[in-house]
Structure 1
Amino acid sequence: MDIAVKDAAQRLGVSESRIRQLLIAGDLNGRRIGRAWLVDADDIARLQGQQRRPGRPVGPKRAWAIIDILSGGSAPWLSYSERSQVRSYAARLDEPSADDWRAILRGRSELRPVQAHPAALARLDRFDHVLLAGSAEAVRRGFDLVAAGEPRPEIYMPIKEWGHIARGLALRPSHDANLIIHHPMLVWPFEGRDAVPDATIAADLLHSAEPRAVRAGQLRLNELLKDLHRGMGR
């Protein structure tokens, strides 16, 4: 059964624009009729089930700190005591499920769906602070995932860079997006890196509508967590 965007937003307790973002990103199943969206009610029930899972989000800075520490970083945007708390928190995690990871790490980024000319897509990597992401990057890195068709490109970009990059490449927000931009909230967690770490790619896969992608994200995060635990002597 399909429901309207307004009804979907009420059921999940989010804005209508957030529902449209999820639809455009492919993280929520639905279909378009003209300019309007209809949302798969069963998929809304799936997300409601995720919301009822135990676990609390840790906030954007600490969510990015967990991802950075899993990637061998030190989360320099946190104080020493905050980093110690995050490491202790990670040490207590025990093979989290996909739902657990989503609950812990949610709210770390803002998604911006845009329309870009194919020539602009080819020029994205010429800009500083633009880093490739998404399922295509996961496949390229050897995640346990097979791409279905041509994945829509995704990138990370600081929100403060949006204006001049959008002007330089003629990017425009669109419901018919062929590019998804992730803006990390409150912090740029990739300073000094020339690519987003595997943990970031894995965390993003957890929000896919494709179960195989969700499973691949969970497996990679838990592999990195085990590596962290071994390094801690656990």
Structure 2
Amino acid sequence: MTETDFVSLKEAAAVLGISVRHARRLVNSGSLTQVARGVLVRDSVDRYLMSQRQGRTRSWAEHTAWGAIAILSGGDADWLGPTQTSRVRSTLRDLVDPNELISRVRDRAQVQTFTAHRAAVPRLRAIVLRPAMNALGIVDSGEDQVDGYIAAQELDNAIRTLGLRADPAGDITLRVTDFDFDQVRKLVSTSVVVAALDAATALDPRIRGAGRRALAETLEAYR
């Protein structure tokens, strides 16, 4: 990494439009990556920025976020219950801006990035759930890259057995969730919504644009 890969805590706060105190809380929660006192990894700031809407949209709890994804995908979200399902449906009908949806469901998983020996990548690809990005016209990531979902209870074992090393600029992106992984597996494998949400917060503007267009079309169709 070079000096341009880092920003000060004050600079990060300015980019995000928040106070330094708030930025420090994001560091403490793991949302932003700090490499030294007051020095943050720029990529972690960019990723966080991409996952937020410019505003104060409140995110849904993890199980609610997955429920919204299921509903937008044309399925049911039995785990929410009738009253909560009705509220989620009503909110989704009112959403116009894809950024609002991105912000609402951002807590569906915690994003962590790693590096690993090249030999570990095929084994990792076999255990994570990867959305069908090709449905958005996005080609599969390179053979050394992985981006997918993993159950929270499986993360430590994957780190240990595959020799994963935390790295904010790494090519391995794991989206860690505590939600019922059978439901996650079903949605990741069948829903373009999951792929669009992941793409919509990518650093690559082409991928990000494809994801947001797909989300806009999904919201329009749902209304």
TM-score normalised over the length of structure 2? 0.72
- Partner amino acid for 2:158? I
- Partner amino acid for 1:4? V
**Structure 1 counterpart SS, 2:112:** strand
Which sections of structure 2, spanning at least 5 residues, go unmatched?
none
Alignment of 1:177-192 (within 5 A): 177-184=170-177, 186-188=179-181, 189-192=183-186
Matched with 2:115 is: 115
- Deviation of 1:157 after TM superposition, in Å, equals 0.3
Aligned counterparts of 1:194 and 1:149: Cα–Cα separation in 2: 20
Are 2:28 and 1:18 equivalent residues in the alignment?
no
Give the structure with the higher percent helix. Answer: 2
Aligned counterparts of 1:210 and 1:108: Cα–Cα separation in 2: 21
What count of residue pairs does the alignment treat as equivalent?
204
Alignment of 1:8-47 (within 5 A): 8-11=11-14, 12=18, 13-14=22-23, 15-16=26-27, 17-20=30-33, 39=42, 47=49
- Partner amino acid for 2:200? L
Which sections of structure 1, spanning at least 5 residues, go unmatched?
22-31, 230-234
Are 2:158 and 1:160 equivalent residues in the alignment?
no
Contact 1:53 1:103 in 2 (8 A): no
RMSD: 3.6
- Deviation of 1:87 after TM superposition, in Å, equals 1.6
**Structure 1 counterpart SS, 2:113:** strand
Aligned counterparts of 2:103 and 2:161: Cα–Cα separation in 1: 36
- Deviation of 1:168 after TM superposition, in Å, equals 3.0
The 1:78–1:218 alpha-carbon spacing in structure 2 relative to 1, beyond 3 Å, is same
Q: Which runs of 4+ in 1 moved over 6 A?
A: 146-151
- Partner amino acid for 1:131? L
Are 2:126 and 1:126 equivalent residues in the alignment?
yes
- Deviation of 1:149 after TM superposition, in Å, equals 7.5
Aligned counterparts of 1:196 and 1:7: Cα–Cα separation in 2: 42
TM-score normalised over the length of structure 1? 0.69
- Deviation of 1:102 after TM superposition, in Å, equals 2.7
Are 2:215 and 1:221 equivalent residues in the alignment?
yes
**Structure 1 counterpart SS, 2:170:** coil
Matched with 1:27 is: none
- Deviation of 1:202 after TM superposition, in Å, equals 0.9
Percent identity between matched residues is 25
